[in-house]
Amino acid sequence: MHSRQQLSNAGLATLLAALAMLGPFSIDTYLPAFPNIQSSLAATSLEVQQTLTAYMLSFAFMTLWHGALSDAFGRRNVILAALAIFAVASFGCASVHSIHYLWGFRILQGVSAGAGMVVGRAMIRDLYAGAPAERLLSMVTMIFSIAPAIAPILGGWIVGFMSWRAIFLLLFLYTILLWLACFKFLPESLPKEKRQEFSMEFLWLSYRKVFKSPLFHLKAGTVAFNFAGMFLYVSAAPVFITQHLKLAADQFGWQFIPSVAGIFLGALAANRLAGKLSVWKQVSIGFCFLIGASVFNVTFHFFSAPVLLWSVTPLFFYTFGMSLVAPGATLLVLDLFPTIRGIVASCQSATLTLLGAVIAGVVAPALDHSALSLALGQLVCALIAAALWYSGRAYWRSKTAQKQNAWETVG
């Protein structure tokens, strides 16, 4: 590992988590400002909603390239370049006077925000394997989970006391400080002799290899649909909070704090269980929480109108299960193709984010008319994720048995 200044595991986890926080800060912080943006820019509510969709689509597209670029040019260089672009985009968002320009700068934010998350995941797998990698990944998740908790609350405060533009100026300042920290402390985990060539032929063959793998789709799909069940509520938060729960714009914490507490405590549990339980058992426990919480959510809202405590409590248990599932499943995805981990991390992130864009742009607007429909949407996401995971396990066992039989035949 080549670095400008040696970092402890906790220090590296903190820096990688701070990079990953750009994503939730870019989404959750400005959700409470939707009505203000609509009024200020003379836009419709749908046009403001599409600033989120534009961000998610560009984020999903560019995550396909962050890993490939880092495989060729180094992890650290890609992160520093992406942070510089994100800073410019954030300042642009704060300066716009048209919803169309806001779409443009949100797209620019989207193409740069995912680098830290994608490349950081590859860096962890560059440096660690097995239980230590799972522990570090869960530690990053624990620290990262602070962002979704404080982002909407911070956004609500800013909207209450200042202009919505101050949200993007705060993002600009955060990014500048993060760039300086990465320049000084972030290690380079991929030495030059291990880098891959950046050629269209190599990239085509690599992406083709990943996307033709059934195991990739099954395992990456597991993480993506679990995330989709949570992101459905994030996307619908402006409606869920203000219309269904009858709360004000500065009270988004009632939804986000339970969700993030579940993420944090689930990641803590995953950290403690790493190396003590097999990945299969840990993921199965996680699905018990995911599906149990979703079933309770549907049942409650089938018989009752939304009520603050009972409507948000299932989100805690859902995200707890999600954090139990994610570290092990993510590492299994990265281990499918060890020589092109950056590209694999990109493909996984693109799958997750593209599904998130569909959730934000299509599913959430279609389901946010009632709390019951949102709960049903979350249950469907959890059931699809479970079906993908157990199908992947069956497929892996089948392939393993075939290889063993082939070796015995040769022998």
Separation of alpha carbons 211 and 196, rounded Å: 19
Separation of alpha carbons 169 and 237, rounded Å: 23
- Residue 409 is which amino acid? T
* pLDDT reported for residue 301: 95
* pLDDT reported for residue 161: 85
| Nearest CA among 166, 165, 66 for reference residue 113 | 66
Q: In this structure, what token pair is assigned to residue 42?
A: 């003379």
Separation of alpha carbons 29 and 157, rounded Å: 10
The residues of the chain scoring below 50 in pLDDT are 1-3, 408, 410
Answer for the pair 304, 370: CB distance below 8 angstroms, yes or no: no
* pLDDT reported for residue 35: 86
* pLDDT reported for residue 3: 44
- Residue 50 is which amino acid? Q
pLDDT digits (tens, 9 = 90+) for 43-97: 888 888 889 888 988 887 887 888 778 888 888 899 999 999 999 999 999 999 9
Answer for the pair 156, 30: CB distance below 8 angstroms, yes or no: no
* pLDDT reported for residue 263: 85
Q: In this structure, what token pair is assigned to residue 262?
A: 């579940």
Q: Report the phi/psi class of residue 96: left, alpha or beta, with left for phi > 0 and alpha for psi in -120 to 50.
A: beta
Answer for the pair 314, 197: CB distance below 8 angstroms, yes or no: no
As its CATH architecture, domain 9-393 has Up-down Bundle (1.20)
Answer for the pair 60, 354: CB distance below 8 angstroms, yes or no: yes
* pLDDT reported for residue 71: 83
Longest Cα separation, the chain = 75
pLDDT digits (tens, 9 = 90+) for 149-173: 678 778 888 888 888 999 999 999 9
Answer for the pair 102, 91: CB distance below 8 angstroms, yes or no: no
* pLDDT reported for residue 14: 84
- Residue 33 is classified by DSSP as G
**What's this model's pTM, rounded to 2 decimal places?**
0.72
DSSP string, 154-174: HHHHHHHHS-THHHHHHHHHH
DSSP string, 199-215: -HHHHHHHHHHHHT-HH
Answer for the pair 280, 393: CB distance below 8 angstroms, yes or no: yes
| Nearest CA among 155, 250, 229 for reference residue 386 | 229
Separation of alpha carbons 194 and 148, rounded Å: 35
* pLDDT reported for residue 404: 58
Instruction: For residue 264, give Cα distances in angstroms to 142, 272, 333.
Output: 5, 12, 22
